[in-house]
Structure 1
Amino acid sequence: MSGPTARYERAARRAQADGRIPALTVALHRADREPWTFTVGESGNPEHPLGPDSRFRIGSVTKTFTAVLVMQARDDGLLDLDEPVSRHLEVPAHGDATIRRLLSHTAGYQREPYGDVWDTLTAPDAARLLAELDRAERVLPAARRFHYSNLGLAVLGQLVARLRGGTWAEVLTERVLTPLGLDATTAARPAEAVVGYLVDAYSDAARPEPPIDMGGVAPAAQLWSTAGDMARWAAFLADPRSVDPGARVLAPATVDEMRWPLTTTDESLWAAGFGLGLILCPDGRRAVHVGHDGAMPGFLAGVYGRRGGEGNPGGLGCAVLGSSGTAGQTNELVHELLRLTVEADPAEIRPWRPAAPAPAPYRSALGRWWSEGSEFVFAWHDGQLQARAAEAPADRPPAIFRPLPDRADTLRTVSGREAGELLRLTRDERGAVVRMHWATYRFTRVQEGFDGGPASDGPS
């Protein structure tokens, strides 16, 4: 075997050997290739040897599904992200926490539900989870800092279930898993489940870990899946148009909203951020890996899609699932494979082709303009008016404008610099654009001071 897949396989084999992982399954999904999957090791399940259909626990990757259900409910008008959870759930305490804060782990909820769940291996059911919220602590003030909380996402999962009139698992299957064809992803332990292990640090012994049903905490950590399903899910989180072109699950703009970083997970390193239910890991110039890690007794999982960066084919997602609860190589390999993909098998470079010219009303707006002493270039590409600072790196996305429906000379910035702000065009008697105001700042064809005088009129 040669080519990119040989490099992927070697990386997976190395991670399995170095991490001493009894069973490892990996998958890559991309918009321009057939999915690639690979397994190495043994399942520990005599009825179902290890293969692409083997199921692993994905732990906290489950939270990304719950977050999508919350955003669906928002888009359907069932909730507002800045509402307190008490608007929708009767809770004895901490009901002032907003949905947005819970999604971004900045509500200050303690990490786990009340009780020693990881000693007893018995999780509360949904009713008890909520009833005992007054026995849980608010360990930090709201919005103080990032503090990861299984309890917070579990509460949100129960909130969505209540709004939709079913169990969390039923709602998830109906509204996300079935529309995206993630048929191997289930809340219940499937027959194809591999055994999860604790691998001894000082010998080659591997002890099977006991199973645990997460009960009311299921929205934070319950799911089982295959690497193939999870790579497709990762591609959806990175590029929803490629996986869900009809937006049956979420509008692309809503997924964009989920990916915007609301907090950093470490104030000194700034190596990762957190959005609305999603972990964001910068990876080089203009690239970010978006997804989540997962851990359960005997299992680790890494599920991420790659956004941006040179060579990215779009719809690029990777999943690495392992049957050891201690092998950090599982979570490292997913990022390594995403990098390898764009290095060893980058997307094809599409040839440039001429297109229709800019509409006549906007042609006089094209070219170089000045504001605050800095030069900007306005251009027409891909059927849209765009702008970028003249000295901006080539890989920095431009600002993109869209005319208001009833005012062609007033445009909304829909992405990039000054997103949301207005661009107003001023024309002379012949209809040519002679001045613009963007976010209220004046743009002119020559450098001008704030008093309107040209820079060339400075004192001698």
Structure 2
Amino acid sequence: MMFAVAIAALLAAFFAAPSSLPATAVSTGDHQLAQRVAALLPDSGLAGGSVGLSVAVIEHGKVRKAGLGTTDGSTPVQPETVFETGSAQKVLTATLLADLVETQDIKLTDTLAELWPDTRFADPAVAGITVEQLATHTAGLPSIPTRDDPGFPRALAGYLLADNAYASLNDPVRTLATMTGVHPGTDYSYSNLGYAALGQTLAKADGRDYATALRERVLAPLGMHHTTTRTTPGVPADAALPHGTAGVAAVPWMNPAWAAVGTGTWTTGSDLAAFLIATMRDDAPKPLTLTHRPRAKVSDFSAYDGRVGLGWQLWKANGTRVSWHNGLTNGSRSFIAHTGDDRAVIVLANSTRTPVEKIGFQLLKLSIPEFDEEQSPHPALLALTVLLALGAPALTLLGVARPRRSRLSRPLDRLKVISLLTAGTALWLLALRVGEWGHTPRLVWALGCVLLTNSVVLAAWRWRRLPTTRGRYLWLRWLTFSVPTLIFGALLYADVMVLIHLP
């Protein structure tokens, strides 16, 4: 019976294990462009780490589009497929700011204290932060409020478990009101918190919520009708579902109060192409021109004369001026860029393993060493994946199979069986969420399932003959059972909730 159960579990787990068609297996749109992009993708020897891509190249007003891979492991990506924007959304947020400046609804020199008169800021330095400082990452703010937002511990847990890390974060302006020790100035320090507060501030200046203001002032005038901001959980129809690594689905990030940074925001390559074409026109609307004025130096990118405009990164690479921004979420990546000679590129991917910056810059014929290097997974991550997916179930089976009485270890009882099964299952599911499955055979996870299944069957067979507890001090036995079981039980609950939240 155990053998039959093992075979059934192996087959079921093998087909349910992390897997996906390589992004190079299927393509749509411009065949030559698809081939060129495929040649730039890394080859891990397995699924390649990439799931799907939408790519567009613009040269002197002519747009070429291609889709590679799949949206969900089986459905081919089309040029019109919807992807998460990630932090590329910040460029759209900055464009909304520029439009409000153009209509004199806000000034770049306006401070938080002036724009939020009913909010009491604990630190005068925070109250004095200007809109321009928020938009150029020179407000001296951290990327994420690690100590000033009570929701951060849950956000960190969500990040580590590949869940919606932004869901528990507070309203960014409310968080800023409690912050102290901030030193605004001209130094560049990338801040998601700053852009989230900027988005809320722009919504207040406009008199509508961020999503409505962005749609009416920026997206609709440019014909970007497939670019959306979600205010409720879920994904748009026919969206490219996010993946951490090939075959491992990820929970989309979403928090309406943080939408301006790129959470819950979706777009298409065609919409972004329309945006970049409008940006590169000689008679481009003033708000689009305003966002490209250099405003602060970026010391980390001094080799490229790095500057920052409103949202845009402004570089000089290989003698070419290039404006760009990238994005990274729980399971998607994005890259948009254009040069001063009417060339532009959009790369959207639904896997964090896709090197969108390398692809984008090389399609623009620009060599950026920082993005050209292949990013191989750390050996420690590969070892951790195998340890969680296979090692934990193996130890569980060994624990359940040991004699009821042993001179070498604590005698087996029902409490120990419960602890072993809870810990083994929690760690095995954790491997699915945080493991490196772009470079690890899915057979590893499937074998772990076999070991766990046999552990359950063996535990059920032995259950009636085992005492509830063993040991001289019952209170100590219950204590040593309760603490680890509660810890791994909480982890198991978190694992299950992440799976429930998947689109």
The TM-score with structure 2 as length reference comes to 0.57
Task: Flag the 1:14–1:260 CA change in 2: closer, same or farther, 3 A.
Answer: same
1:108 to 123, 135, 140: 140
What is the match of residue 94 of structure 2? 67
Are residues 1:282 and 2:316 paired?
A: yes
Question: What is the DSSP-based 3-state SS (H/G/I as helix, E as strand, rest coil) of the residue aligned with 1:320?
Answer: strand
Task: Flag the 1:85–1:67 CA change in 2: closer, same or farther, 3 A.
Answer: same
For 1:124 and 1:130, locate their aligned partners in 2 and report how far apart those are by CA, in whole Å: 16
One-letter amino acid of the structure 1 residue matched with residue 334 of structure 2? A
Instruction: Work out whether residues 98 and 287 of structure 2, in 8 Å CA contact, stay in contact via their aligned partners in 1.
Output: no
Matches within 5 A, 1:107-256: 107-113=139-145, 114=149, 115-116=152-153, 117-120=155-158, 121=164, 123=166, 128-136=171-179, 138=181, 141-188=183-230, 189-199=235-245, 206-222=247-263, 223-237=265-279, 239-241=280-282, 244=284, 247=285, 250-251=286-287, 253-255=289-291
Q: After TM superposition, give the deviation of residue 25 of structure 1 in Å.
A: 1.1
For 1:209 and 1:294, locate their aligned partners in 2 and report how far apart those are by CA, in whole Å: 16
Instruction: Work out whether residues 86 and 95 of structure 1, in 8 Å CA contact, stay in contact via their aligned partners in 2.
Output: yes
For 1:270 and 1:87, locate their aligned partners in 2 and report how far apart those are by CA, in whole Å: 36
For 2:156 and 2:252, locate their aligned partners in 1 and report how far apart those are by CA, in whole Å: 11
One-letter amino acid of the structure 2 residue matched with residue 166 of structure 1? R
Number of residues of Structure 1 aligned to a counterpart in Structure 2: 312
Q: After TM superposition, give the deviation of residue 70 of structure 1 in Å.
A: 1.1
Question: What is the DSSP-based 3-state SS (H/G/I as helix, E as strand, rest coil) of the residue aligned with 1:132?
Answer: helix
For 1:211 and 1:105, locate their aligned partners in 2 and report how far apart those are by CA, in whole Å: 25
Task: Flag the 1:235–1:180 CA change in 2: closer, same or farther, 3 A.
Answer: same
What is the match of residue 334 of structure 2? 301
Instruction: Work out whether residues 214 and 221 of structure 1, in 8 Å CA contact, stay in contact via their aligned partners in 2.
Output: no
Matches within 5 A, 1:373-384: none
Q: After TM superposition, give the deviation of residue 144 of structure 1 in Å.
A: 5.0
Are residues 1:338 and 2:364 paired?
A: yes
For 1:100 and 1:130, locate their aligned partners in 2 and report how far apart those are by CA, in whole Å: 16
Query: Which has the larger strand fraction?
Result: 1
For 1:118 and 1:240, locate their aligned partners in 2 and report how far apart those are by CA, in whole Å: 43
For 2:108 and 2:239, locate their aligned partners in 1 and report how far apart those are by CA, in whole Å: 36
Instruction: Work out whether residues 252 and 329 of structure 2, in 8 Å CA contact, stay in contact via their aligned partners in 1.
Output: no
Query: Which has the larger helix fraction?
Result: 2
For 1:296 and 1:53, locate their aligned partners in 2 and report how far apart those are by CA, in whole Å: 20
Instruction: Work out whether residues 95 and 288 of structure 2, in 8 Å CA contact, stay in contact via their aligned partners in 1.
Output: no
For 1:110 and 1:233, locate their aligned partners in 2 and report how far apart those are by CA, in whole Å: 29
For 2:257 and 2:136, locate their aligned partners in 1 and report how far apart those are by CA, in whole Å: 20
Q: After TM superposition, give the deviation of residue 129 of structure 1 in Å.
A: 2.6
One-letter amino acid of the structure 1 residue matched with residue 157 of structure 2? D
Are residues 1:41 and 2:69 paired?
A: yes
Q: After TM superposition, give the deviation of residue 131 of structure 1 in Å.
A: 1.8
Q: After TM superposition, give the deviation of residue 7 of structure 1 in Å.
A: 5.6
One-letter amino acid of the structure 2 residue matched with residue 82 of structure 1? T
Matches within 5 A, 1:255-274: 255=291, 258-266=292-300, 269-270=303-304, 272-274=306-308
Task: Flag the 1:154–1:58 CA change in 2: closer, same or farther, 3 A.
Answer: same
Task: Flag the 1:49–1:270 CA change in 2: closer, same or farther, 3 A.
Answer: closer
One-letter amino acid of the structure 2 residue matched with residue 273 of structure 1? R
For 1:138 and 1:53, locate their aligned partners in 2 and report how far apart those are by CA, in whole Å: 46
Show structure 1 runs of 5+ residues with no match: 200-204, 341-460
For 1:38 and 1:234, locate their aligned partners in 2 and report how far apart those are by CA, in whole Å: 17
Instruction: Work out whether residues 235 and 318 of structure 1, in 8 Å CA contact, stay in contact via their aligned partners in 2.
Output: no
One-letter amino acid of the structure 2 residue matched with residue 325 of structure 1? T
One-letter amino acid of the structure 1 residue matched with residue 237 of structure 2? A
Task: Flag the 1:142–1:136 CA change in 2: closer, same or farther, 3 A.
Answer: same
Are residues 1:50 and 2:77 paired?
A: yes
Are residues 1:80 and 2:112 paired?
A: no
Q: After TM superposition, give the deviation of residue 91 of structure 1 in Å.
A: 5.1
What is the match of residue 347 of structure 1? none
Task: Flag the 1:263–1:134 CA change in 2: closer, same or farther, 3 A.
Answer: same
Question: What is the DSSP-based 3-state SS (H/G/I as helix, E as strand, rest coil) of the residue aligned with 2:110?
Answer: coil
2:121 to 85, 92, 107: 92
Deviations, residues 186-221 of structure 1 (Å, cap 9, x unaligned): 11231121121122xxxxx53111122122111111
**Between the two proteins, what is the percent identity of the paired residues?**
24
The TM-score with structure 1 as length reference comes to 0.62
Question: What is the DSSP-based 3-state SS (H/G/I as helix, E as strand, rest coil) of the residue aligned with 1:28?
Answer: strand
For 1:127 and 1:167, locate their aligned partners in 2 and report how far apart those are by CA, in whole Å: 16
Task: Flag the 1:190–1:220 CA change in 2: closer, same or farther, 3 A.
Answer: same
Cα RMSD after superposing both structures: 2.5
**Higher RCO (CA < 8 A, seq sep 6+):** 2
Q: After TM superposition, give the deviation of residue 235 of structure 1 in Å.
A: 3.3
Task: Flag the 1:273–1:37 CA change in 2: closer, same or farther, 3 A.
Answer: same
